[in-house]
Amino acid sequence: MTPQMLPYSVLTFTPRPRDHGTNLTCQVQRDKHSVAMERTVRLNVLYAPQNLTIGISFRNITAFKILQTTSSLPILEGEAVRLLCVSDSNPPAEMSWFQGSPALNATLISSTTTLELPRVGTAEEGEFSCQARNPLGSQHVSFSLSVQRSPPPCSCMTEEQQGSWPLVLTLIRGALMGAGFLLTYGLTWLYYSRCGGHQRKRTTS
């Protein structure tokens, strides 16, 4: 058998990002009684950044979600916020944080996957963007950070601070009502005991 007549098999397919790291094995066996020979190759699929995800951590709570361009993140003024940007890509993407939109020459504020905002204030209010970039392309996601002002402290006293004052006021109110009743009864009795006696004397005379 000449080299031009050697048997061969061709596999044609379009690799996708999920195929990265998978194995392809080619096996050759002359007949069912011969020993099979095989060779395995591992796929190295290159692809642009995708599935950009932002993790949000504040108030000791961590929640991962994909933020859309219209997403809004309300944060109380003075809180500490940690933002983690993660992307799926090969080769690994370079991560960047911007205050504003990258398409509008926004200000670069960090070149790491994590953005720390130790104390959120009015200066941090507005649009933030995370961008993932490698030689095959880029992806970014933006969200709006809104700062919520803390309510002013209440100047009223709590029940614990008030102590027994409500009970004292109730007792004083009851005592005043009782005194008023006794005073009214005494004046009525005095009027009838005096004026009623004079009227009976006039009638008998």
What are the mean pLDDT values of the chain's consecutive 10-residue runs (205 residues total)?
Answer: 66 88 87 83 93 80 61 85 91 92 81 91 88 93 85 57 62 69 67 60 51
According to the model, what pLDDT value does residue 48 have? 95
Angle at 57 between CA 54 and CA 58, to 5 degrees: 140
Phi, psi of 76 (to 5 degrees): -70, 140
pLDDT value for 4 = 59
- CA dihedral sign, ordered 183, 184, 186, 191: positive
pLDDT at 37: 85
Question: Would you state the structure tokens that stand for residue 118, as one six-digit string?
Answer: 């130790």
DSSP character at residue 118: S
Longest Cα separation, the chain: 164
Q: Which residues contact 11 (CB under 8 A, 6 or more apart)?
A: 24
pLDDT of residue 74: 85
Residue 132 CA to residue 62 CA, distance in Å, equals 22
Residues 6+ apart with CB under 8 A from 88: 17, 49, 50, 51
